[in-house]
């Protein structure tokens, strides 16, 4: 797992997170879009989606720009709280360790 420093925030690429939790990346993107929509609808200024998920892109093997997110520790916490069982435990251990190592 690679933690990056993005404008002072530590974050992990959503493609890595999808792989770690055993989801297709497009399904994780759909979930994140749903989380963002709920946060924005709340009108609560403390629930800034960019504190959790930073929109980004990558270039695919077909040389096409594709969407992804850079997921902060708060975002990883949110994703981990939605997971159950062994995958949830292993993801939590991996991201906590990666952020501490940064």
Please state the domain extents for the chain.
3-101
Name the one residue in this structure whose structure tokens are 């997170």: 17
pLDDT band at 66 (very low <50, low <70, confident <90, very high): very high
Chain center to CA of 15 = 8
pLDDT value at 33 more than 90: yes
Give me 73's structure tokens.
């520790």
Determine contact, residues 71/14, Cβ cutoff 8 Å: yes
- Quick one: average pLDDT of 36-49? 85
Among 22-26, 50-54, 89-93, where is mean pLDDT lowest? 89-93
pLDDT value at 99 more than 80: no
């Amino acid at each position: 797992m690679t933690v990056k420093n993005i404008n002072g925030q530590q974050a992990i690429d959503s493609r890595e997170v999808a792989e770690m939790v055993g989801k297709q990346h497009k399904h994780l993107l759909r979930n994140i879009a749903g989380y963002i929509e709920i946060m924005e609808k709340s009108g609560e200024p403390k629930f800034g989606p960019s504190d959790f998920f930073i929109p980004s892109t990558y270039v695919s093997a077909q040389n096409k720009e594709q969407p992804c997110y850079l997921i902060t520790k708060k975002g990883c916490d949110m994703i981990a709280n939605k997971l159950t069982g062994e995958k949830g435990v292993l993801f939590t251990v991996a991201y906590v360790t990666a952020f501490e190592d940064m």
